[in-house]
Amino acid sequence: SGIGPADHLRDHGIAVRVDRAAVGANLQDHIDYVASFETPGTQFVGSSLKGTLAMAGGMIQWLRKRQGMMTTPFAEAGAFLKVMPDAPAPDVQLHFVVAALEDHGRTKVKGHGYSCHVCVLRPESHGTVRLTSTDPHQAPAIDPAFLTDPRDMAVMKAGVRAMYRILEQPPLTDHMGRDRHPVDLSDDAALEDLIRSRADTVYHPVGTARMGSDADAVCDPRLRVRGVEGLYVADASVMPKLVSGNTNAPSIMIGERCADFVTTDLR
Ligand SMILES: Cc1cc2nc3c(=O)[nH]c(=O)nc-3n(C[C@H](O)[C@H](O)[C@H](O)COP(=O)(O)OP(=O)(O)OC[C@H]3O[C@@H](n4cnc5c(N)ncnc54)[C@H](O)[C@@H]3O)c2cc1C
């Protein structure tokens, strides 16, 4: 498009239309740690002969009556917790999942179990999205810069500890879950190593075309791209700060607002 940081565009031989450093900067995402447990029983979703038969039966029950185990949204429960004493609002979010998760589900876990996610709701670490080529089919270089700001690690450690306080209580302990990644929570360095080796996105990237009233913002508060007539951005990238929760509903709201702005501007 030629809209972006001029030097970066020129490096790729792209003619600069609007020099805007904020394009591709300010990437924010919810860094997330997943605790995962294997259970001896088959109550949770998982892979075993008994579990597969139960799920097949569950599918039939769902098709016939819209009832039973396959009505599960998988992430069955959640919580917002305030773990830092000075936080103005909950600073971590939990998602409880009725299956043992590894690497976003890409690594299959044999047997049954459950997992719990904890993510940092207002990360201070900011990353970038940059071009790798002028070919739009080539993947960009996405650097979320997770945990580069020490404040995020502090919140994450407190969040993991708070999550384990819940996981180590009945009725969850009744399921005798075996922690796939046990750690001594009182050992700060070990906990930090575990988080750095396992934490990853929970799929909420925003901010790389941020909206703002300042002249450096990519979009103005009516989502018009500054310096280009008739171009609007209507997606999660306009959020100047990541919302303290899931991003789908806010993205829908951004789309609705943008539709209103465009309709009004065209009148
Ligand atoms: C695995 C996963 C799970 C998630 N779970 C949740 C959840 O449980 N709750 C929640 O609130 N949020 C969730 N999110 C986040 C949520 O989906 C996003 O925040 C939201 O969809 C962002 O909306 P968007 O419009 O910015 O982008 P998208 O929804 O990604 O929309 C971008 C659209 O642009 C299209 N597109 C891309 N390139 C081109 C092109 N060159 N030409 C034309 N079209 C193009 C794409 O096909 C896509 O339809 C999840 C995200 C992922 C990836």
State which ligand 1 atom lies nearest to the alpha carbon of 205: 19
Architecture of domain 3-27+206-266: 3-Layer(bba) Sandwich (3.50)
How many A from CA of 258 to the centre of ligand 1?
16
Question: What is the predicted ipTM?
Answer: 0.97
At the top level of CATH, the class of 31-45+73-201 is: alpha beta
Phi-psi region of 156 (alpha: psi -120 to 50; beta: other; left: phi over 0): alpha
- Collect the ranges in the chain with pLDDT lower than 70: none
Q: Please write the tens of the pLDDT for every residue from 196-208.
A: 999 999 999 999 9
pLDDT of residue 167: 96
Residue whose entry in the numeric block shows the structure tokens 């179990």: 113
Q: Which residues contact 120 (CB under 8 A, 6 or more apart)?
A: 30, 31, 32, 91, 92, 152, 155, 156, 159
The full set of domain ranges for the chain reads: 3-27+206-266, 31-45+73-201
pLDDT of residue 43: 86
Q: Is 30 in the pocket of ligand 1 (CB under 6 A)?
A: no
Q: Are 47 and 111 in contact (CB under 8 A)?
A: yes
Q: Please write the tens of the pLDDT for every residue from 153-195.
A: 999 999 999 999 999 999 999 999 999 999 999 999 999 999 9
Q: Whose CA is nearest to atom 34 of ligand 1?
A: 235
